[in-house]
Amino acid sequence: MSMMGELKFFLGIQIHQSPRGIFINQAKYAQEILVKHSMTSCNGTGTPIATKHLDDDLSGTPVDQTKYHSKVEALMYLTASRPDIMHATCYCARYQAQPTEKHLTAVKRIFRYLKDTIHIGLWYPKDTGFELTAFSNSDHVGCLDSHKSTSGGIQFLGSDKLVSWSSKKQDCTSMSSTEAGYVSLSVCCAQVLWMRTQLTDYGFHFDKIPMYCDSKAAIAISCNPVQHSRTKHIDVRYHFIKEKVKKESFQYLVRRLGMRCLTQAELEALANESA
């Protein structure tokens, strides 16, 4: 092995190192896919997804499936450093089997959003905390076609270093928002346990990991080892979280999150709040 100098570029990800920390983004890659898909002259937009949910659009005009796949695939790789487009991209990816003009418009909206936010990335400051923290949330019946909910989760090292994020449609159909939140908690718990195992190899040990959730009912279910009539139908694989809570691997904290598509004004307000 030989020293090749300071790392500045890796698999399409630009890495900017400074005495204060590390900033990573994919501005070069984002510009390349804008050119590839002829979106350089489009009008920008302030949000990656509209507030109205997509559906199968069975009566819509079909579009070229290969081109639709290509656009979604390009955006998927960009989510490696752009958690702000994760939910929108995964949502559009659900309609790759029979895409229509409506779905293509939604994908193009993400490209329009990229045009105005091409230099956004992730900042990892130096000499800050290294505590593992997780946030879990879900919608309820967010998919208009299958009536399934979507789980969302993010994990931080310290209070300001985002290292993992996900947005995925749940495998089961939840009968209530509480059940959807409980399933999302279980998925987030599994991710955190995997991260804790990896970090243990580097000498970091975590117990009572803070996990934020806005559903008090979902938290109550996971803290209760007894199965009740209203929860006994939930798939057994999601109940492993009860064991982890009993062993005090996690510490729940209630925080109002809200999983929905935001307007431009709401996004700007959140950005200013965290700045």
Complete domains list, the chain, with CATH:
9-121 (no CATH), 129-274 (3.30.420.10)
How many CA within 13 A on the CB side of residue 53? 17
Residue 164's pLDDT is: 92
Q: Report d(CA 211, CA 188) in Å as an integer.
A: 9
**For residue 84, is pLDDT > 80?**
yes
For the segment 170-224, what is each residue's pLDDT rounded down to a tens digit? 888 888 888 888 888 888 988 998 999 898 888 888 888 888 888 888 888 777 7
Q: For the whole model, what pTM was predicted?
A: 0.83
Point out which residues pair with 238 in neighbouring strands.
none
Q: Report d(CA 124, CA 160) in Å as an integer.
A: 7
For the segment 96-136, what is each residue's pLDDT rounded down to a tens digit? 999 999 999 999 999 999 999 999 999 998 888 888 899 99
**For residue 268, is pLDDT > 80?**
no
For helices 216-223 and 177-200, angle between their N-to-C axes, nearest 10 degrees: 60
Short-list 92, 123, 107, 98, CA closest to 25: 123
